[in-house]
Amino acid sequence: MSDDKIVKALERAVAAVDQAKVPDDLRSDAFKLAWQEMSGQTEPPGTAGGLPNTSPPASAPAAEGAWAELAKRLTGVTVEQLQDIYELGEGGTFTPHLPTPALPRAKSDATRALALLIFAGRQYTDQEWTPGDLVIEVCKNYKKFDQANNASIMAEGDSHWRIEGKGKSKKYKLIRPGWEEAARLITRVTEG
């Protein structure tokens, strides 16, 4: 299937799931079914089974170590699951890289889910605090940013992360319940 056809089929599948008003907990399964109907393929690109292999090559021991270190911090999560969710950046931090239908439909829930993934992907290194602007940027990329309510959405996550600073200088740090919730989220997304 050509790239253009894949993009069009993905767009149609997303639109079908949105139009059907599928509950958040069933969106991933509904998307897979819509993809199968529209493309004749079993797994869409960007899902655990259809994601191109973006994992580091076997000859990259430092990168392999980074995947293993993050997996250690996220109890019960495998390196393979992480490779379905994250992209490893040159700076050694992980950036969420998952299909939009895998996220909750509500912008507030999606923002908190992305924040968990961002914080975990950065914090396993020495980068303990994550600037709020980074969360905003990623949420905008996923079209899940709610400018009017962002501050209150992020404040609601205070049982999962610490907040330091005010206004534009806010930064966030996962605490134990946040690590646990990030692991549960990754497992839910990768296991469908």
- Top pLDDT among 122 and 1 is at 122
pTM of the model: 0.67
Question: Could you tell me if 78 and 172 lie in one domain?
Answer: yes
Which of 35-44, 135-144, 153-162 bottoms out in mean pLDDT, i.e. has the lowest? Answer: 35-44
Q: Of 58, 36, 144, 148, nearest to 98 (Cα)? A: 144
Domain that holds residue 175: 61-191
- Top pLDDT among 185 and 92 is at 185
Give the pLDDT mean for 170-175: 95
Dihedral angle at the C-alpha atoms of 4, 7, 10, 14, nearest 10 degrees?
A: -130
Question: Could you tell me if 173 and 90 lie in one domain?
Answer: yes
Domain count, the chain: 2
According to the per-residue pLDDT averaged within each range, which of 60-69, 94-103, 118-127 is highest?
94-103
Question: Could you tell me if 127 and 33 lie in one domain?
Answer: no
Beta strands in 36-127 (DSSP E): 86-88, 94-96
Mean pLDDT, all residues of the chain: 81
Rg of the chain over all Cα atoms, to the nearest angstrom? 17
